Amino acid sequence: MKPMKKTLALLLALSLCLSLAACADSSGRNSQAPSGPASEPPVSQPASEQPGEDGGELAAAEIQVFIAASLENAFQDIIALYRDSQPNITVTYSADSSGTLLTQIQEGFECDIFFSAGARQINDLEADGLAIEGTRVDLLQNKVALITYKGSGTSVTTLSEIGNAASVALAGSSVPVGQYTRTALQALGILDSGKDAAEFTAQEVSEALGGVEINETANVSATLNAVAEGSNEVGTVYYSDAYSRIDDVEILELVDSSLTGSIVYPMSRVVNAGADQAQTAAADDFYAFLQTDAVMDIFESYLFVSNLEG
């Protein structure tokens, strides 16, 4: 019986060796397979960085947006809507006259997107090499409105008659609405057409209007408030601004674009050397978001007109 037992032991050993060899061959196939996307291990990402079916949520970041003062009310709604899709992104905005905002960018203030109420400021941004090439978009249109406060009893009905008012609220020459107003006064023959509209001081405008008192304001919001509160008899703002306080002011005239020229609101991405990858991605995303139909609907609800084709 000993030979038989020895034979069985040998057979069992041989069977075990064959099984181990088969296992080794099976496990070796994956390690020997050609490298490629399917064989690469998945890269672990924080949830905020993983793209979803609709682009997904972006990594946490804060972006700086400079906007013309006349855009502020609309932007509060726009930022709230954006937060619904990108809760990790904080949009911090500064609202002021476009001229003031441009100066701040030129002085080194951090900014990712500049949304101006006038083309001149974006032109200067581009000329200074501070705009990211190819990102300028003339997004909106507007009109200049001549306004007075409710119950003023003013005899002024058109811009050509503002010299008859007791006082005029007029934005400074670096403010787009102030420039457009001066341009219209040039077209009406009240101001010298041979001079750049932005060069007329408030004193020069006053003299051209027969000495009327002029309250030179820092931006369009300050002009609107000065008239709505009765500090000045008349003033010039944008139509969208006037309508935002229609319970307090009366629109005397919408100044024709043949006098002011086309009023567009351009925006551009701004060179921000200090921005990291997350901030840059967030700024690009918000810049694209500002051009969507949903945002255009918000702007139009505030009486802006889309300047986008289609």
Compute, in degrees rounded to 10, the torsion defined by CA atoms 256, 73, 102, 178.
Answer: 30
| Residue 277 sits in the same domain as residue 210 | no
| Residue 100 sits in the same domain as residue 117 | yes
The CATH number for 119's domain is: 3.40.190.10
pLDDT score recorded for residue 199: 96
Query: CA–CA separation, 199 vs 11, rounded Å?
Result: 106
For residue 230, give the 3-state DSSP assignment: coil
Q: Is residue 41 part of a domain?
A: no
C-beta of residue 113 within 8 angstroms of C-beta of residue 286 = yes
Q: How confident is the model at residue 172 (pLDDT cuts 50, 70, 90)?
A: very high
| Residue 238 sits in the same domain as residue 166 | yes
Give the pLDDT mean for 73-91.
97
| Residue 244 sits in the same domain as residue 277 | no
77 against 19, higher pLDDT: 77
pLDDT score recorded for residue 84: 97
pLDDT score recorded for residue 55: 65
| Residue 135 sits in the same domain as residue 200 | no
Q: Is residue 37 part of a domain?
A: no
Compute, in degrees rounded to 10, the torsion defined by CA atoms 211, 215, 216, 217.
Answer: -160
pLDDT score recorded for residue 301: 96
Q: What is the pTM of this model?
A: 0.77
| Residue 247 sits in the same domain as residue 150 | yes
Query: CA–CA separation, 56 vs 30, rounded Å?
Result: 33
Q: Is the pLDDT of residue 31 over 80?
A: no
| Residue 234 sits in the same domain as residue 167 | yes
| Residue 126 sits in the same domain as residue 200 | no
Q: Is the pLDDT of residue 169 over 80?
A: yes
Q: Is residue 87 part of a domain?
A: yes
| Residue 275 sits in the same domain as residue 241 | no
Query: CA–CA separation, 202 vs 213, rounded Å?
Result: 9
pLDDT score recorded for residue 34: 31
Q: Which of 51-65, 115-129, 187-201, 279-293 has the lowest mean pLDDT?
A: 51-65
| Residue 247 sits in the same domain as residue 171 | yes
Give the pLDDT mean for 131-153.
97
pLDDT score recorded for residue 157: 98
Query: Could you tell me the sign of the dihedral formed by the alpha carbons of 93, 94, 95, 100, in that order?
Result: negative
Contacts of 237 (CB under 8 A, 6+ apart): 70, 144, 145, 147, 177, 220, 223, 224, 227
pLDDT score recorded for residue 36: 33
| Residue 256 sits in the same domain as residue 148 | yes
How many domains are there within the chain? 2
